[in-house]
Amino acid sequence: MPKFKTLDDIGDVRGKVALVRVDLNLPMKDGRATDVTRVEASAPTILELADKGAKVLLLAHFGRPKGQRHSTMSTSMVQGDVERVLDREIMFIPEVAGPVVEQAIGILRDGDIGLLDNVRFWPGEEANDPEFARAIAAHGDFYVNDAFSAAHRAHASTEGLAHLLPAYAGRAMEAELTALDKALGNPEMPVAAVVGGAKVSSKLAVLEHLVGKVQHLIIGGGMANTFLAARGVDVGKSLCEHDLTGTANTILDTAGHAGCTVHLPYDVVVAKEFAANPASLRTCNVHEVAADEMILDVGPLAVEALGDVLKTCRTLVWNGPMGAFETEPFDAATVALARTAAALTQDGSLVSVAGGGDTVAALNHAGVAHDFTYISTAGGAFLEWMEGKVLPGVAALES
């Protein structure tokens, strides 16, 4: 496990100013957040520091203002949502550095929480400008990063600050790094990876990394069609990247040399039109797909066999749904395999970690998100981690 410091290592924080990078990039509708999961994730870190007597300054981005002030992208837009989740009043501070921040710190009492404005209003944030980072760091006694979802960016608030102040992982960051380490860093073997979703092209780097890491690579979703086509299967009208069949074959060869078994579906659910419960719906062997049909889900026989594969594994990492799960009945394979993984996790035989925007939605749809060992909501950062990349925001905490 890579070594990083946590809140347990800070010591007495009373009266100290904590600069805490959090994820407040909430989806909004009519001036209110439609989902506050990200705030809930960091609430333990914020409240722990406040309750220990630190003055907590929250630092976050909100939208893409590209280095300019936009009133609609001020973090004050989410102040009410943060207050509701924390059940505390917080002070909005319309800057991230300078005399206004200094003055606010003078007003805040020990244990109070301040919310700095959108750090991306300043071009120095995304440029990771050391001078900009130093101006922010001047206000803090220490830095806490609790935003894994932004850790794939080397920005001033995610990376630069960690080099200027004593730096710690917040509780959400700690939980995420611990879970990810158990899944791919130092996993118990055998390890299975489920990779699904629409396209091979969006997950090439993930596939290339995983074939050298896991014992079983389960490919589903639209991307399985490209692999099937690479193996000479006629996939009809299915979503398929025919220009990537060569790449798919290379991945299959690499897997063969690395001792990684690749599982492609051998039965599939097809239809002539993409609609809910279409009249043309049928299940068939992959070799029987007609020219006017498209593959929209993995078939029941394959799902059962994949469940048996998971039973032989100790660790599972999952990104991407097995089928077009938003439309019934093409959610069946994703739901069934997710339930098997959840049951094995609850039995204690499997460590299961999943991530990805649509994957999280699919696991929620299957009703099993809470039965997995860990679900990452980090999106881009989760994918980069699955690609085996070093995330700059994480690396900076380790130094």
Q: Which does 331 bind (CB under 5 to 8 A by kind): Mg ion, ligand ADP, none?
A: none
Member of 252, 281, 295, 316 binding ligand ADP (CB under 6 A): 295
The interface with Mg ion within residues 24-43 (CB under 5 A) comprises: none
Residue 333 Cβ vs ligand ADP, minimum distance, rounded to whole Å: 9
- Closest CB to ligand ADP among residues 170, 299: 299
Q: Is 169 helix (H, G, I), strand (E, B) or coil?
A: strand
Member of 35, 188, 273, 326 binding ligand ADP (CB under 6 A): 326
Please tell me which residue in 307, 379, 380, 388 is annotated as part of the active site.
380
Strand positions, DSSP E, 156-308: 167-169, 191-195, 216-219, 261-263, 267-271, 282-285, 294-298
Residue 377 Cβ vs ligand ADP, minimum distance, rounded to whole Å: 11
Q: Which does 359 bind (CB under 5 to 8 A by kind): ligand ADP, Mg ion, none?
A: ligand ADP
- By CB under 6 A, residue 356 contacts ligand ADP: yes
- Say which residue the tokens 């997950």 belong to: 203
Tell me if residue 357 is catalytic.
Answer: yes
How buried is residue 175: exposed, middle or buried, by Cβ count under 10 Å (0-12/13-18/19+)?
middle
Pairing of strands 167-169, 142-145: parallel
- By CB under 5 A, residue 358 contacts Mg ion: yes
Please tell me which residue in 357, 379, 388, 389 is annotated as part of the active site.
357
Q: DSSP letters of 247-280?
A: HHHHHHHHHHHHT-EEE--SEEEEESS-SSS-TT
- Identify which range of 17-25, 182-190, 239-247, 358-366 contacts Mg ion by CB under 5 A: 358-366
Q: Which does 320 bind (CB under 5 to 8 A by kind): ligand ADP, Mg ion, none?
A: ligand ADP
Looking at residue 175, its amino acid is A
- The first and second tokens of residue 149, run together, are 């979802």
* Binding-residue total with Mg ion (CB under 5 A): 2
Cα 335 to the center of its chain, rounded Å:
20
Q: Which does 295 bind (CB under 5 to 8 A by kind): ligand ADP, Mg ion, none?
A: ligand ADP
Q: Which does 63 bind (CB under 5 to 8 A by kind): ligand ADP, Mg ion, none?
A: none
Query: Residue 124, CB half-sphere, CA atoms under 13 Å: how many?
Result: 14
Tell me if residue 52 is catalytic.
Answer: no
Q: DSSP letters of 58-117?
A: EE---S--TTS--GGG-GGGGHHHHHHHHTS--EEES-SSSHHHHHHHHHPPTT-EEEE-
Q: CB-based contacts of 248: which residues, under 8 Å, 6+ apart?
A: 200, 226, 227, 229, 230
| Cα separation, 373 vs 170, whole angstroms | 19
Member of 68, 72, 186, 202 binding ligand ADP (CB under 6 A): 202
Q: Which does 202 bind (CB under 5 to 8 A by kind): Mg ion, ligand ADP, none?
A: ligand ADP
- Identify which range of 16-24, 173-181, 240-248, 324-332 contacts ligand ADP by CB under 6 A: 324-332
Q: Which does 239 bind (CB under 5 to 8 A by kind): Mg ion, ligand ADP, none?
A: ligand ADP
> DSSP assignment, residue 31?
T
Member of 239, 248, 332, 381 binding ligand ADP (CB under 6 A): 239
Closest alpha carbon to 239 in 250, 254, 229:
229
Cα 334 to the center of its chain, rounded Å:
18
- The first and second tokens of residue 305, run together, are 């066999």
- Closest CB to ligand ADP among residues 132, 227: 227
Tell me if residue 38 is catalytic.
Answer: yes
Residue 194 Cβ vs ligand ADP, minimum distance, rounded to whole Å: 11
- Closest CB to ligand ADP among residues 63, 357: 357
Tell me if residue 114 is catalytic.
Answer: no
- Say which residue the tokens 């995330």 belong to: 391
Residue 218 Cβ vs ligand ADP, minimum distance, rounded to whole Å: 13
- Give the binding site for ligand ADP (CB under 6 A): 196-198, 202, 221-222, 239, 295-296, 319-321, 323-326, 356-359
The residues that are catalytic are 38, 199, 357, 380
